[in-house]
Chains A and B, each alone.
Chain A
């Protein structure tokens, strides 16, 4: 039970799912930092990405790279439109935070039920991306699709880091998150940066969803549980801090995988929520001490 290959297999599994939580959690934090809002439809962006990717790859028969790029673009537009034409309109009407949260909850229901009508109300098979069913890794064999998820998540996280810190636009985004008035006074289009922030987090979620397609299959509730774990990760790391979200996401990946292996498969999700509630109760600021208390 505690032999090296078993542990290694678990670690790879934990890293795979943990990295998904990490990137999704970065999306949550990015949105929170830039707009001060919470998006309950995050998991459904991931799920929608899986369906869109499936359509490009399987139905239209495009090649895998092109499918990923197109999924990124489509999901970016979905996220951007959501922010510019739903959230902003609602905010301009003077809606409070509670109403925005409910709006994203409604969107989440809309997406989950919408895809069932457009595509199918059952799980769709995502064709294998690689010709080999498994590749040797150290002493064990791993499905290449799992490694692809890990690779895409890692690349996304690193790319996001450089985008935010090394490009003009990233600097503008960080500036408008810090102080909107000051940012707009030096000529930054704050509305546009907010829209792009939502677009980016939706696009990253969508690409990950597509990568997860071959692993889990594509179905309407694909994103629901993943989003809640990512959420837990973002809170644990310190909500609003993208690096905290990475650490938190990986933490829950490990907790979930090792609980399932050594404690109980049935209770693996319960344990996640118990930990989240405990953290929200005793240390709601998370690892990176983001301010969340009134």
Chain B
């Protein structure tokens, strides 16, 4: 029997190498910021994976949930003086409640109308944070958000914050893995594959759909709070409808229902954004072309491409082995 380490040796080495590279790069504040952001978007993409990848519920309104997490955390911290870590958790819980409320009607609707509802939800949150100036600061946003304080350890640099974020990314992945490989996860997959058959098996479809929404909202809200702490500044433009589409693109680019997919997706899309930062006008265009290319040519994402390559190589080596066998016999 192979141990966990032996089975995943390649992956563990890859992760270790990446961690070292990231730590070296993160000595520069700017790179630390990017690495932190990749972690935050990876959490969002992971949360979308639970909802879309496993349960089959599309959401083009996750930027709204992300915004709720960011704004609630910030406002609790700055207006009410709630300790920063508590504010982060409360922000995530409020977002979960919001997700729960949306999910009650959303879980009834068929695909198109679900996406409609989520778009409307995202748009509503965006408009509210934009117009409710006395509380949210309107289009100017809120600045000078204090550092995150984790049990007395003040995360007063991007590097420290990024490390904390990546610890949470690891926790999220573990949580996702545990959920997916449980009774709940199997119910999610059954609902995605065929809601009617799932109901026939005695799965309470609505309950599990709502659960998927709530879990997804919790993680996205937490990511929103982390974003506020990392950037120290939030404004409505971060949370518009395009952002929701980008979250979906990150997930699709990386590959749904995979462990590494969300991380790869968020890393690649964020790097593309940073590389083309100076060409602001082309940025949206590049993203758009990206989405279309992924949809048309790589619907299984980057991880899917890797698996396809692996399968093709295996086929090749199998063929070779077969030929040798034939030659030997002859």
Let me know if B131 is at the binding interface, CB within 8 A: yes
Query: Once bound together, how far apart are the Cα atoms of A224 and B128, in whole Å?
Result: 17
The minimal Cβ–Cβ distance linking A185 to chain B, given in whole angstroms, is 27
Instruction: Give the segment of B75-83, B230-238, B285-293, B320-328 that binds chain A.
Output: B285-293
Interface residues on chain B, number (Cβ under 8 Å): 43
Whether B291 and A101, one on each chain, are in contact in the complex, defined by CB atoms closer than 8 angstroms, is no
Whether A276 and B195, one on each chain, are in contact in the complex, defined by CB atoms closer than 8 angstroms, is no
Query: Once bound together, how far apart are the Cα atoms of A293 and B288, in whole Å?
Result: 31
Which chain B positions have C-beta within 8 A of A103?
291-292, 295
Chain A residue with minimal CB distance to B286? A113
Whether B245 and A105, one on each chain, are in contact in the complex, defined by CB atoms closer than 8 angstroms, is yes
Whether B291 and A106, one on each chain, are in contact in the complex, defined by CB atoms closer than 8 angstroms, is yes
> Do A95 and B299 form a contact, CB below 8 Å, given A105-B291, A107-B288, A109-B284?
yes
Chain A residue with minimal CB distance to B127? A270
Residue interface bits A97-140, CB-to-B below 8 A is 1, else 0: 11101110111011011101100010000000000000000000
Let me know if B159 is at the binding interface, CB within 8 A: no
Which chain A positions have C-beta within 8 A of B195?
294
Let me know if B117 is at the binding interface, CB within 8 A: yes
| Chain A, range 77-107, C-beta contacts under 8 Å to B | 86, 89-90, 93, 95, 97-99, 101-103, 105-107
The minimal Cβ–Cβ distance linking A140 to chain B, given in whole angstroms, is 30
Partner of B281 from the list A116, A224, A235 (CB cut-off 8 Å) is: A116
Which chain A positions have C-beta within 8 A of B71?
none
Query: Once bound together, how far apart are the Cα atoms of A276 and B117, in whole Å?
Result: 8
Partner of A102 from the list B110, B116, B121, B252 (CB cut-off 8 Å) is: B252
> Do A99 and B288 form a contact, CB below 8 Å, given A274-B124, A284-B109?
no
> Do A110 and B288 form a contact, CB below 8 Å, given A277-B121, A293-B110, A294-B109?
yes
| Chain A, range 238-294, C-beta contacts under 8 Å to B | 239, 266-267, 269-270, 273-274, 276-277, 280-282, 284, 292-294
Which chain B positions have C-beta within 8 A of A110?
285, 288-289, 292
Whether B120 and A273, one on each chain, are in contact in the complex, defined by CB atoms closer than 8 angstroms, is yes
Whether B113 and A280, one on each chain, are in contact in the complex, defined by CB atoms closer than 8 angstroms, is yes
Let me know if A76 is at the binding interface, CB within 8 A: no
Which chain B positions have C-beta within 8 A of A109?
242, 245, 284-285, 287-288, 291
Query: Once bound together, how far apart are the Cα atoms of A189 and B287, in whole Å?
Result: 35
Partner of B113 from the list A98, A270, A274, A284 (CB cut-off 8 Å) is: A284
Query: Once bound together, how far apart are the Cα atoms of A276 and B122, in whole Å?
Result: 12
Query: Once bound together, how far apart are the Cα atoms of A166 and B283, in whole Å?
Result: 47
The minimal Cβ–Cβ distance linking B305 to chain A, given in whole angstroms, is 15
Whether B105 and A102, one on each chain, are in contact in the complex, defined by CB atoms closer than 8 angstroms, is no
> Do A281 and B120 form a contact, CB below 8 Å, given A105-B291, A110-B285, A117-B285?
no
Whether B245 and A284, one on each chain, are in contact in the complex, defined by CB atoms closer than 8 angstroms, is no
Let me know if A71 is at the binding interface, CB within 8 A: no
Which chain A positions have C-beta within 8 A of B123?
228, 269, 273
Let me know if A57 is at the binding interface, CB within 8 A: no
Whether A38 and B115, one on each chain, are in contact in the complex, defined by CB atoms closer than 8 angstroms, is yes
Partner of A113 from the list B105, B116, B120, B284 (CB cut-off 8 Å) is: B284
Query: Once bound together, how far apart are the Cα atoms of A116 and B252, in whole Å?
Result: 27
Let me know if A56 is at the binding interface, CB within 8 A: no
Whether A292 and B121, one on each chain, are in contact in the complex, defined by CB atoms closer than 8 angstroms, is no
Which chain A positions have C-beta within 8 A of B197?
none
Query: Once bound together, how far apart are the Cα atoms of A90 and B284, in whole Å?
Result: 22
Query: Once bound together, how far apart are the Cα atoms of A267 and B130, in whole Å?
Result: 10
Whether A106 and B245, one on each chain, are in contact in the complex, defined by CB atoms closer than 8 angstroms, is yes
Query: Once bound together, how far apart are the Cα atoms of A99 and B52, in whole Å?
Result: 11
Partner of A97 from the list B108, B111, B288 (CB cut-off 8 Å) is: B111
Whether A90 and B296, one on each chain, are in contact in the complex, defined by CB atoms closer than 8 angstroms, is yes
Let me know if A232 is at the binding interface, CB within 8 A: yes
Whether A98 and B111, one on each chain, are in contact in the complex, defined by CB atoms closer than 8 angstroms, is yes
Cross-chain pairs A/B with CB under 8 angstroms, 19 sampled: A38-B112, A38-B116, A97-B111, A102-B248, A103-B292, A109-B242, A109-B284, A109-B287, A110-B292, A113-B284, A117-B282, A228-B119, A232-B120, A235-B113, A277-B124, A280-B116, A281-B105, A292-B110, A292-B112
User: Which residues does A use to contact B, with CB under 8 Å?
Assistant: 32, 37-38, 40, 86, 89-90, 93, 95, 97-99, 101-103, 105-107, 109-110, 112-114, 116-117, 121, 224, 228, 231-232, 235, 239, 266-267, 269-270, 273-274, 276-277, 280-282, 284, 292-294
User: Which residues does B use to contact A, with CB under 8 Å?
Assistant: 52, 56, 58, 60, 104-105, 108-113, 115-117, 119-121, 123-124, 127-128, 131, 195, 241-242, 245, 248-249, 252, 281-285, 287-289, 291-292, 295-296, 299
Given contacts A97-B112, A103-B291, A224-B241, 8 further A-B contacts (CB under 8 A): A38-B115, A86-B292, A89-B296, A93-B296, A102-B245, A106-B288, A110-B285, A284-B109
- List of 4 A-B pairs having minimum Cβ-Cβ separation, nearest first: A106-B291, A281-B105, A109-B288, A113-B284
